[in-house]
Amino acid sequence: MENMDWGALGFDYRKTDANVRYYYTDGKWSEMEVTGDEYIKIHMSASCLHYGIELFEGLKAFRGVDGKVRLFRVEENAKRLQSSAERLCLPVPTIEMIVKACVEVVKRNEKYIPPYGTGASLYLRPVMFGTTAGLGVKPAKDALLIVYCSPVGAYFKDGIKPISVAIDREQDRAAPRGTGDVKVGGNYASSLLSGENGHKLGYSNIMYLDAAEHKYIEECGACNFFGIKEGKYITPKSSSVLPSITNKSLRQLARDMGLEVEDRLIPVEELPTFEECGGCGTAAVISPIGKIFDMQTNDIYEYGTEVGKVCMELYTRLQDIQYGRAEDKYNWCTIVE
């Protein structure tokens, strides 16, 4: 890929050489199929198109300082994919199937893994959906699991910097006991309107509150939220928040740094007490928050224009593991050879 401008890549799809697929029909999974075809052929009455029987995952492979390629916490993504499949009554692939598919995709597209030092990485997107043709609302008997990839650029082109976030109390992302804790497309579709409204006002992300009382912080756009104060790393505990693998990793690193970790309800009124706060997820690792604006109350919470010390250390520690600059003492990385 000599002509690729790795530094110019954004977070978007670029064609690669191969993707892998598993088909579920007649009560069993097929062998893994490797193809260069970017398209799928499904019936116009397929259940995924009408009833949202669809899920996905996102993870990254990194070319390290030592030249080795590392897949970050692929087994955790596989477990979360299983949870999503169970919730949607889809056939549940094994962890071994999912991991094997991810490793194969990395191997088959090795030339698209950005060089170390560019800040870019190879993003993997497992996606699964029901393909049974029919009209009634019922579980799909047939399914397709695809894993494909695309090189993506550094989230912060000019270095990590704080973002501005808006609270929207007039739209909910997910209801209690709904699908907020699994990675299904409907959760993201429901966030589009408020997201667009926020972007028009100049805000990067929308902060969602709990759907029942609109008192407690839940997701921050497509990210988990966390706040730092008094030597504590605090993140929302809710049945409608997606269990972020990045957040899970940061909680462990926070403990390593001597911080106390709290998973609990976070009322909006607590926002002024945080010394630092941010969103966390696969794309950016950490998006430090510099400002939060409440679109309904006009309250403004500000945390400064510079990245906080704790956010910066957490970000650096996690990136050091992903790029092989630090010991992977928790065995989070899978070396692809």
Place of tokens 């499904």: 42
Name residue 301's beta-bridge partners. Answer: 292
**The dihedral sign for the CA sequence 36, 42, 48, 50:** positive
Q: How many CB atoms lie within 10 A of CB 131?
A: 22
Q: Which of 60, 107, 183, 215 is an active site residue? A: 183
Task: List CB contacts of 1: < 8 A, sequence separation 6 or more.
Answer: 111, 112
Question: Residue 248, exposed/middle/buried by CB under 10 A (0-12, 13-18, 19+)?
Answer: middle
Assess contact for 59 and 124: CB atoms under 8 A: yes
CA distances from 302 to 104, 228, 285, 318 (A): 45, 14, 21, 26
* Residue 183 annotated in active site: yes
Q: How far apart are CA 295 and CA 297, in angstroms?
A: 6
Assess contact for 318 and 257: CB atoms under 8 A: no
Assess contact for 60 and 124: CB atoms under 8 A: yes
Annotated catalytic residues are 183
